[in-house]
């Protein structure tokens, strides 16, 4: 056997004996996220566990894999080489899973759905209905912010994603329209502007605004609307969740813009009202997306078709919530 072939075989055997797929997954996550801590959170592991596994992988490779730069870490040249290789391995395993799922058909298999935070108000119902039709399918749902969903999409962590306005995020994806996602201005029911018609953006800018954190799709949409008019809203605070914003409005801390979907479960319990503001609601939409060029499994294709067929049900719930909020505005 040629010497170079023997050398390659020995190298492969060394990795097979000492490296694990879990270690490669962790390295990929650390490089992508730039942090041991964030990788540990994403993989549902403790940071000491992540550090120990990367130490073992470093010993197998025989060279340092990461450099600490401030609070973040960056891969060394060896780390980048391992990262490029493990991406190919993980991608091949993902493709294998798709092929095996196709062989099983829809009697069994796994489906993973990733959604941004606001989509949590209807995504579980979609998955629940899908499971009733196809009880043999094992489903999982990951709910997180837009930045994390983009990261998961880049890593092919899920089969499909529910995302708002993917073109604004500059994503190279296949997008299928799912349902409307209107953004409305909300205030506490006893706010002085409740009941007024045609409130101008200039008048609205005088109010104390509560906004989502930077990077939020809702925040970006509101900023664009005000920027188009050369107006800056009076931002009082930034909060990281829709629920926190609703509670802050009810507490009298200000007004905010939220997706109408965030009110579909409780309608604000009669404590919130929708303001009649010019240029609102902002008509946005939800899309089912996946990276362009990635083949979907039979299960993913079936879920996509199932979800699109549920658009009428989603619209009906939004119409009911809208009517509730308009009633609060007029009382």
Question: Which pair of structure tokens corresponds to residue 187?
Answer: 């205030």
Residue 221 sits in the same domain as residue 257: yes
Domain that holds residue 19: 3-92
Cis peptide before 320 (omega within 30 of 0): no
- pLDDT tens over the chain, length 331 residues: 444 433 444 555 666 676 788 888 888 888 888 888 888 888 888 888 888 888 988 888 888 889 888 778 888 998 888 888 888 787 777 767 666 666 566 666 789 999 998 898 899 999 999 999 888 888 999 998 888 888 888 888 899 999 887 765 567 889 999 999 999 999 999 999 998 999 999 999 999 999 988 878 888 888 888 898 898 888 889 898 888 999 999 999 999 999 888 887 664 557 888 999 998 898 889 999 998 888 888 889 889 999 999 888 888 888 888 777 776 655 5
Domain boundary among 92, 115, 143: 92
188, 203: one domain: yes
Helix H or strand E segment including 54: helix 47-61
- Using the 8-state DSSP alphabet, how is residue 260 labeled? G
Q: What is the pLDDT of residue 100?
A: 65
Whether 121 maps to a domain, the answer reads yes
Domains of the chain: total:
3
Residue 191's CATH number:
3.40.190.10
Residue 101 lies in a domain: no
CATH code where residue 35 lies: 1.10.10.10
Tally of CB atoms within 10 A around 229? 13
Residue 43 counted as domain residue? yes
**Residue 105: what pLDDT?**
62
Domain co-membership, 161 together with 125: yes
Is 12 among the domain residues? yes
Exposure string for 63-91, b = 16+ CB within 10 A, e = fewer: eebbeeeeeebebbeebeebbeebbeebe
Contact 179, 241 (CB under 8 A): no
Same-domain status, 218 and 247: yes
- How far does CA 139 lie from the centroid of its chain? 17
CA–CA distance, 243 with 33 (Å, rounded to integer)? 26
Asked if residue 163 and residue 27 are part of one domain, the reply reads: no
């Amino acid at each position: 056997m040629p010497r170079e072939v023997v050398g390659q075989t020995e190298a492969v055997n060394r990795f097979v004996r000492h490296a694990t797929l879990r270690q490669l997954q962790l390295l990929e996550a650390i490089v992508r996220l730039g942090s041991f801590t964030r990788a540990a959170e994403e993989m549902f592991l403790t940071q000491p566990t992540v550090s120990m596994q990367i130490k073992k992988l470093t010993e197998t490779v025989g060279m340092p894999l990461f450099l600490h730069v401030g609070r973040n870490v960056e891969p060394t040249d060896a780390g980048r080489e391992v990262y490029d290789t493990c991406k190919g391995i993980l991608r091949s395993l993902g493709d294998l899973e798709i092929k095996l799922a196709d062989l099983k058909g829809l009697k069994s298999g796994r489906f993973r759905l990733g959604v941004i935070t606001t989509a949590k108000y209807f995504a579980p119902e979609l998955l629940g209905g899908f499971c009733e039709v196809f009880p043999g399918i094992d489903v999982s749902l990951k709910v997180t912010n837009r930045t994390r969903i983009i990261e998961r999409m880049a890593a092919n962590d899920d089969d499909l994603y529910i995302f708002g306005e993917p073109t604004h995020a500059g994503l190279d994806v296949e997008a299928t329209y799912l349902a409307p996602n209107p953004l409305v201005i909300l205030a506490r029911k006893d706010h002085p502007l409740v009941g007024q018609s045609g409130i101008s953006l200039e008048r609205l800018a005088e109010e104390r605004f509560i906004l989502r954190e930077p990077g939020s799709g809702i925040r970006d949409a509101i900023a664009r609307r005000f920027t188009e008019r050369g107006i800056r809203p009076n931002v009082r605070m930034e909060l990281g969740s829709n629920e926190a914003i609703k509670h802050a409005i009810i507490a009298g801390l200000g007004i905010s813009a939220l997706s109408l979907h965030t009110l579909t479960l409780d309608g604000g319990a009669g404590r919130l009202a929708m303001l009649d503001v010019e240029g609102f609601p902002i008509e946005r939409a939800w899309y089912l997306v996946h990276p362009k060029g990635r083949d979907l499994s039979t299960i993913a294709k079936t879920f996509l078709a199932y979800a699109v067929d549920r658009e009428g049900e989603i619209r009906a719930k939004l119409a009911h919530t809208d009517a509730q909020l308009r009633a609060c505005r007029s009382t």
